[in-house]
């Protein structure tokens, strides 16, 4: 019995597979592909604030107890200022040890505990942002961690951004085809997606601890919603 060399057998198998693939997938038509980004600005219709209380004590129990009492007063004042025009919920809570590191080196020494409780306040009344900060700090809040203007529903703005990105991408692809002396036959595919909103956000840190009797000025800015698209055009000579 004649034996076929392994190398020859492998070559025959690969050739057969290539021929089958060619028969199943005829040559693709020539294409031109281009991508583009677009951004749409919209006025925000809601504001979120992260308002917190940070307390320190020699024991975890004392730090947590002091924090609870202080936060209860803050919540009561926020509910009074907010009424039924928004919502308040807890988004973070922690009790952690504090260590003091000796200058001369050696093991760190336990110096007490820090309790942190963070509330998120959300409302569609943008004008309430400043008064809410003032009410919270007056009641004992000492951390305004985040101030975020956003859209309740970004669907319309994202759709507009996608449409503009697709038109820009098609214009670029058609310009490339024209520059190369090619004729556009049809649109083969369009791919796109939102890139998420870029909205005005402030991290106010411990600024609340220094707040005075002057009302806190807060000015909302536009929300920018971005999208990208890639357009593929079939072309011919």
Judge contact between 144 and 49, C-beta under 8 A: yes
Percent share of the chain, pLDDT over 70: 81
Strands (E), the chain: 31-42, 46-57, 86-100, 109-123, 143-150, 183-198, 201-202, 223-236
| 19 has pLDDT over 60 | no
In the predicted model, what is the mean pLDDT of the chain?
85
Q: Of the residues 112, 132, 150, which one is the last residue of a structural domain?
A: 150
The enclosing domain of 93 has a CATH number of: 3.30.70.2970
For residue 94, give Cα distances in angstroms to 100, 112, 136.
19, 14, 20
Asked if 108 and 137 sit in the same domain, the reply is yes
Which has the closest alpha carbon to 90: 119, 54, 56, 130? Answer: 119
Three-state secondary structure call for residue 172: helix
Residue 182 or 26, more confident: 182
For the segment 125-183, what is each residue's pLDDT rounded down to a tens digit?
999 999 999 999 999 999 998 899 999 999 999 999 999 999 999 999 999 999 999 99
Percent share of the chain, pLDDT over 90: 70
Range of the domain at 225: 28-43+152-199+221-237
The enclosing domain of 193 has a CATH number of: 3.30.110.170
pTM for this entry: 0.70
* 34 HSE (CA, 13 A, CB side): 19
Asked if 36 and 69 sit in the same domain, the reply is no
**Residue 218 banded pLDDT, cuts 50, 70, 90:** confident
Q: What pLDDT, on the 0 to 100 scale, is given for residue 196?
A: 64
For residue 149, give Cα distances in angstroms to 23, 44, 58, 171.
57, 6, 38, 34
């Amino acid at each position: 019995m004649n034996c076929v060399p392994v190398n020859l057998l492998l070559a025959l198998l690969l050739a057969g597979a290539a021929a089958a693939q060619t028969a199943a997938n005829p040559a693709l038509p020539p294409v031109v592909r281009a991508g583009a980004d677009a951004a749409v600005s919209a006025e925000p219709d809601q504001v979120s604030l992260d308002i917190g209380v940070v307390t320190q004590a020699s024991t975890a129990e004392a730090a947590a107890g002091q924090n609870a009492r202080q936060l209860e007063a803050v919540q009561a004042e926020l509910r009074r200022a907010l009424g039924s025009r928004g919502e308040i919920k807890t988004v973070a809570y922690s009790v952690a040890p504090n260590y003091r590191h000796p200058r001369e080196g050696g093991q760190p020494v336990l110096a007490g505990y820090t309790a942190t409780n963070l509330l998120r306040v959300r409302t569609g009344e943008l004008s309430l942002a400043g008064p809410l900060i003032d009410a919270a700090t007056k009641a004992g809040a000492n951390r305004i961690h985040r101030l975020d203007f956003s859209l309740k529903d970004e669907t319309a703005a994202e759709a507009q951004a996608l449409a503009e990105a697709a038109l820009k991408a098609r214009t670029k692809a058609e310009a490339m085809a024209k520059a190369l002396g090619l004729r556009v036959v049809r649109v083969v595919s369009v791919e796109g997606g939102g890139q998420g909103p870029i909205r005005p956000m402030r991290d106010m840190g411990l600024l609340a601890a220094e707040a005075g009797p002057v009302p806190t000025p807060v000015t909302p800015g536009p929300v920018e919603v971005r999208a990208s698209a890639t357009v593929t055009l079939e072309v011919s000579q």
